[in-house]
A and B are shown apart, each in its own frame.
Chain A
Amino acid sequence: MKTEPLLRWTKKDLIGIRELSRSEIEIILDLTPKFLSVSERASGIKKVPLLQGRLVVNWFHEPSTRTRTSFELAAKRLSADILSITASSLSTVKGETLHDTLANIEAMNTDILVLRHSGAGVPHILAKDHASHIINAGDGRHEHPTQALLDAFTMREEMRRLYNDPNRGLDGIKVALVGDIQHSRVARSNIHALTKLGADVTVCGPATLLPRGIEGFGVKVTTDLGEALENVDVIYALRIQMERQGKALFPSVGEYVRLFRIDRDALCYAPDHAIVMHPGPINRDLELSTEVADGPRSVILKQVTNGVAVRMAVMHVLANAGSSKEL
């Protein structure tokens, strides 16, 4: 592997896709296949020593299984030491401030901090004042950058396969994000990544779940699923957060299903080649029918596999930026 990408990367942290340039996004995407191959080694030794002796702390202030284990596995495959702290074990519940908790984590000589928090902006404010590399693993409704990177990587792989062109990017491909845009950090990060990579993005959902000002992101906005799915290459279903339904943002699950669920009927609006994605965990038969989720057009499990490799690439780039470490 060429050393060039590490020399081109200058950021200490990965806080959001919004702060990244197209070429920074591409550095990660281009490194990912090498890490994917580590996980698929015929020898069965799925490890490289790129982060040997480094300490990665997974600080999850909000429940998460998928993202936390994906980061954990990524760190382990890079031979790092990994420590996971979850919300229940945190002293913030005992009144300690965020900065104090982080100062304590750093005092253990942490190299990389993977942070999930319910408050938008927490990784951003902590990164400003602390020395360790911070990777945002999701902050409130704000951003979830590694999810967007793994999604972009997955879309790129699928499009390369579809068009039989190993150099194809996402320029000109059409992506529809469907569901709860308002509360979704995945939607925000994906919109930033996809628009930067030249894709044409449409967001679709109930009017009550489309945030004001979303047109300013350079996306098309519609409440008509048929219109959203016309000519799409990628259908991206977002999770409906049932815990928010106390706020009655749509009248019933039944009505949501009739208008916005990605199911066999909805797929009729889309071309045959369109793939189906979802960030997980799925509410089966709510935003996505079981038939489609498990069907031939779904790449949901590929997203999960790619997620580990993308996160390995991100940790490698942050921790080894400026050096000439080779894979």
Chain B
Amino acid sequence: MTSYVIKNGHVINPASNTSEPLDVLIAGDKVVKIGHNLKGDVVINAEGHVVSPGLVDIHCHFREPGGESKETIATGSLAAAAGGFTTVVTMANTNPVIDNAGLVELVIRRAREEACIHVLPAACATKGLIGNEITEMADLKKAGAVAVTDDGQDVASSALMLRALEYANMVGMPFLSHCEDESLAEGGAMNEGYTATLMGIPGIPKAAEEIRIDRNIRLAELAKAHLHIQHVSTAAGVEIIRQAKKRGARVTAESAPHYFSLTDEAVQGFNTNAKMNPPLREKEDREAIIKGFQDGTLDCIATDHAPHTATEKRVEFGLAPFGIIGLETSLALTITELVRPGHITIEDAVHLLSWGGAQICRLNSGNLYEGGPADITIFDPEMQWTIDSNDFASKSRNSPFIGRSVYGKVSYTFCGGKIVYPELPF
């Protein structure tokens, strides 16, 4: 068994509050030792690099089954590895949707066959993702689902949402919640406001998201369930979560790099790669998201990696599908937009990108400890590079960040003790 020793790096492990120069010894699929002057068969020189737990993204769309022209479990996991992620939670809005144990098993089997990282499925909270009946959550969990979600849409009926939360709580799974009032959002394609009016594009008001964040939290409090709010995009949304946490609600929340890096002005020029749901908001929302990360209201960064083909996106703005890819740009945007301007520390960034999300879905990931899984990301936080669509490992190219100069690049990703990025020629 070949052992690797990662030397001269700066280990950051938020779960143990570690941030110091240390060596890491890996043998097989385990971390054997974290300490000084370690020796192994193969030396990885991590000078100038951060050595962190493999990053965790609890919100991605790998499109398999049914959307393989956009992404597959194989290509999605390569994109994840290139971005430093070793564990991802995939959403259930595939075709067919993941609403029974057989389909959970399918995703898990495909991941075992094809994926170079850990791909963990979330399953539907309601059958067929249509909000009429709750799914067999105990069976889904037994098959390997790590969470329930109707991501892509909200559960319209408050009564059914309450039952789904009560049941998810009973089986011990978090509910990953896409908050959106469909009647307010219907027909909209970007944030409602000055820019939308200027461009003549129907808007989605912030209230469409905020009133459902509030409703879903109140239902979770009633059910005493763990509710996780996905892709928070507005200032009032952050504030509602902050107040709920203060009164002790079991609520966690994520936001995505695009919400702290961009505003709705990125849509100018009818850029369909800046179209996602919830939509890019305004300056004050972007600032509130950053504050939410600073004070712990927002628990993790998730990408909402949502691949679409170039042909699907190269249409009129109103008809283009919602969503952008994010796995390969998330770490760099976090460093460039949050760490370098001094909003958060590099330790906070690693926390938000690994241990934060792992705790929400109760995963054995995002934590670097002796005897733990050898899922490790080695990145140079100072390295400057330009995001180039030709370099994406993802099958899709729908990123609004193409051409942007950023800081922070992954040099190696280890998953289960193997180097999964860069792809080695042997």
Alpha-carbon separation in the docked complex, A211 to B197 (Å):
6
Stretch at the interface among B119-127, B162-170, B312-320, B372-380: B312-320
Within 8 A of B (CB), among A1-40: 18
From B192, B201, B205, B315, give the contact of A98 (CB < 8 A): B315
Is residue A44 within 8 Å, beta carbon to beta carbon, of the partner chain?
no
From B197, B201, B316, give the contact of A117 (CB < 8 A): B316
Alpha-carbon separation in the docked complex, A122 to B201 (Å):
12
Alpha-carbon separation in the docked complex, A309 to B227 (Å):
63
Proximity string of chain A (178-195) to chain B, C-beta cutoff 8 Å, 1 when within and 0 when not: 000000010010000000
A119 and B319 within 8 A (CB): yes
Proximity string of chain B (189-203) to chain A, C-beta cutoff 8 Å, 1 when within and 0 when not: 000111111111111
Is residue B311 within 8 Å, beta carbon to beta carbon, of the partner chain?
yes
Alpha-carbon separation in the docked complex, A213 to B191 (Å):
11
Is residue A139 within 8 Å, beta carbon to beta carbon, of the partner chain?
yes
Chain B residue at minimum C-beta to C-beta distance from A215: B194
Chain B residue at minimum C-beta to C-beta distance from A143: B200
B194 and A121 within 8 A (CB): no
Alpha-carbon separation in the docked complex, A97 to B315 (Å):
7
Alpha-carbon separation in the docked complex, A98 to B311 (Å):
11
The residues of B that contact A54 with a CB separation of less than 8 Å are none
Chain B residue at minimum C-beta to C-beta distance from A213: B194
From A120, A143, A185, A214, give the contact of B316 (CB < 8 A): A120
From B199, B205, B270, B314, give the contact of A99 (CB < 8 A): B314
Is residue B269 within 8 Å, beta carbon to beta carbon, of the partner chain?
yes
The residues of B that contact A141 with a CB separation of less than 8 Å are 200-202
A212 and B199 within 8 A (CB): no
Chain B residue at minimum C-beta to C-beta distance from A184: B200
How near does chain A come to B277, taking the closest CB pair, in angstroms?
18
B200 and A97 within 8 A (CB): no
Chain A residue at minimum C-beta to C-beta distance from B203: A212
The residues of A that contact B201 with a CB separation of less than 8 Å are 120-121, 140-142
The residues of A that contact B198 with a CB separation of less than 8 Å are 18, 188, 213, 216-217
Given that A97-B311, A125-B270 are known contacts, is A120 also in contact with B197, CB under 8 Å in the complex? no
How near does chain A come to B311, taking the closest CB pair, in angstroms?
7
Is residue A124 within 8 Å, beta carbon to beta carbon, of the partner chain?
yes
Within 8 A of B (CB), among A105-128: 117, 119-122, 124-125
Given that A120-B270, A125-B270 are known contacts, is A214 also in contact with B317, CB under 8 Å in the complex? no
B314 and A122 within 8 A (CB): no
Chain B interface, number of residues (Cβ within 8 angstroms): 22
The residues of A that contact B315 with a CB separation of less than 8 Å are 97-98
How near does chain A come to B279, taking the closest CB pair, in angstroms?
14
The residues of B that contact A185 with a CB separation of less than 8 Å are 200
A142 and B199 within 8 A (CB): yes
Proximity string of chain B (232-271) to chain A, C-beta cutoff 8 Å, 1 when within and 0 when not: 0000000000000000000000000000000000000110
The residues of B that contact A98 with a CB separation of less than 8 Å are 315-316
A121 and B314 within 8 A (CB): no
From B192, B269, B318, give the contact of A124 (CB < 8 A): B269
Chain A interface, number of residues (Cβ within 8 angstroms): 24
Within 8 A of A (CB), among B178-212: 192-203, 205
Within 8 A of A (CB), among B305-344: 311, 314-319
Alpha-carbon separation in the docked complex, A117 to B319 (Å):
13
Contact count A vs B, C-beta below 8 Å: 70
A140 and B200 within 8 A (CB): yes
Given that A139-B200, A141-B200, A142-B200 are known contacts, is A120 also in contact with B317, CB under 8 Å in the complex? yes
Alpha-carbon separation in the docked complex, A98 to B317 (Å):
12
Given that A213-B193, A216-B194 are known contacts, is A120 also in contact with B311, CB under 8 Å in the complex? no
Chain A residue at minimum C-beta to C-beta distance from B319: A119
How near does chain A come to B47, taking the closest CB pair, in angstroms?
45
Alpha-carbon separation in the docked complex, A211 to B192 (Å):
9
Proximity string of chain B (281-324) to chain A, C-beta cutoff 8 Å, 1 when within and 0 when not: 00000000000000000000000000000010011111100000
The residues of A that contact B311 with a CB separation of less than 8 Å are 97
Alpha-carbon separation in the docked complex, A122 to B193 (Å):
21
How near does chain A come to B209, taking the closest CB pair, in angstroms?
15
Alpha-carbon separation in the docked complex, A73 to B184 (Å):
43
Alpha-carbon separation in the docked complex, A1 to B316 (Å):
40
Alpha-carbon separation in the docked complex, A238 to B201 (Å):
19
The residues of B that contact A18 with a CB separation of less than 8 Å are 198
B194, B202, B270, B311, most chain A CB atoms within 10 A? B270
Alpha-carbon separation in the docked complex, A55 to B196 (Å):
35
Alpha-carbon separation in the docked complex, A124 to B318 (Å):
13
The residues of A that contact B319 with a CB separation of less than 8 Å are 119
B205, B318, B319, most chain A CB atoms within 10 A? B318
B200 and A212 within 8 A (CB): no
A124 and B203 within 8 A (CB): no
Alpha-carbon separation in the docked complex, A120 to B317 (Å):
7
B200 and A188 within 8 A (CB): yes
A120 and B200 within 8 A (CB): yes
Alpha-carbon separation in the docked complex, A121 to B202 (Å):
12
Alpha-carbon separation in the docked complex, A97 to B195 (Å):
27
How near does chain B come to A81, taking the closest CB pair, in angstroms?
28
The residues of B that contact A139 with a CB separation of less than 8 Å are 200
A214 and B200 within 8 A (CB): no
Alpha-carbon separation in the docked complex, A142 to B200 (Å):
4
Can you name 30 A-B pairs with beta carbons within 8 Å?
A18-B198, A97-B311, A97-B314, A98-B316, A99-B314, A120-B199, A120-B200, A120-B270, A120-B316, A121-B317, A124-B270, A139-B200, A140-B200, A141-B200, A142-B199, A142-B200, A143-B200, A185-B200, A188-B198, A211-B196, A211-B197, A212-B192, A212-B203, A212-B205, A213-B192, A213-B193, A213-B195, A216-B197, A217-B197, A217-B198
Q: Which residues of A contact B (CB under 8 A)?
A: 18, 97-99, 117, 119-122, 124-125, 139-143, 185, 188, 211-214, 216-217
Known: A121-B201, A121-B270, A124-B270; 7 extra A-B contacts, CB below 8 A, are A119-B316, A139-B200, A141-B200, A141-B202, A142-B199, A212-B192, A212-B196
The 6 residue pairs across chains A and B that have the minimum distance between CB atoms: A119-B316, A142-B200, A213-B194, A121-B270, A141-B200, A120-B200
